Amino acid sequence: MEHKKTHILSLKAQISILIALIVLTFMAIGVTKIEMGAYSLAVILVIAAIQAYIIMAYHMHLKFESPFFRVMVILLFILFLAVLFVTFLDYIYR
């Protein structure tokens, strides 16, 4: 059970990530002010997905981990999508 050396982000990188997350948050708020109908929700979800990716990649160190952990996270997303799919079998066919 060997431990890999912990990857430590530089201060500059951490501040850049923080700024990116704040900007994306304001973008998500800004989108609600623009009339895009049903597309607003899609745009907000895309922005939220980008934020989630940044957090997982850098704060949760997935970018620096072995492929094993990345595969596990992908499997969890597949599980999540499967749960959504089953839920929507109700909403679509109700």
Partner 1 sequence: MSESIHETKEPSYLEVKSHKGIWNWLLTTDHKRIGLMYLYAMITFFGVGVILGLMMKLELIAPGKTIMSAQTYNSFFTLHGIIMIFLIVVPGLPAVFGNFFLPILIGAKDVAFPKLNLLSWYVYMLGAVVALSSQFLSGGAPDTGWTFYAPYSFKTSTNMLPAVLGAFILGFSSILTGLNFIVTMHRLRAKGMTWMKMPLFPWALYGTAWIQLLATPIVGITLLMVVAERTLQIGFFDPALGGDPILYQHLFWIYSHPAVYIMILPAMGVVSEILPTFAQKTIFGYKAIVISTIAIAFVGYFVWGHHMFTSGMSGVALYIFSLLTFLVAIPSAIKVFNWIATLYRGSIRLETPFYWAASFIFVFMIGGLSGLVLGSLATDVYVHDTHFVVAHFHYIVFGGVGFAFIGAMHYWFPKMYGRMYDASWANIGWLFFFIGFNFLYMPMFYLGILGMPRRYFDYVDKFHNGNIVSTIGSWVMVFGLVVIVANLIKSARSGPLADDNPWNGKTLEWATSSPPPLENFEIEPVVTEGPYEYK
Minimal distance, residue 86 CB to partner 1, in Å: 6
Q: Is 45 in the site for partner 1 (CB under 8 A)?
A: no
CB 44 within 8 A of CB 2: no
| Nearest CB to partner 1, comparing residues 52 and 76 | 76
The number of angstroms, rounded, from the C-alpha of 56 to the middle of its chain's C-alpha atoms is: 7
Please state, in angstroms and rounded to a whole number, the distance separating the CA atoms of residues 50 and 58: 12
The 1-40 site mask, x for binding partner 1 (CB under 8 A), equals x---------------------------------------
Please state, in angstroms and rounded to a whole number, the distance separating the CA atoms of residues 88 and 49: 20
Interface ranges with partner 1 (CB under 8 A) = 1, 76, 79, 82-83, 86-87, 89-94
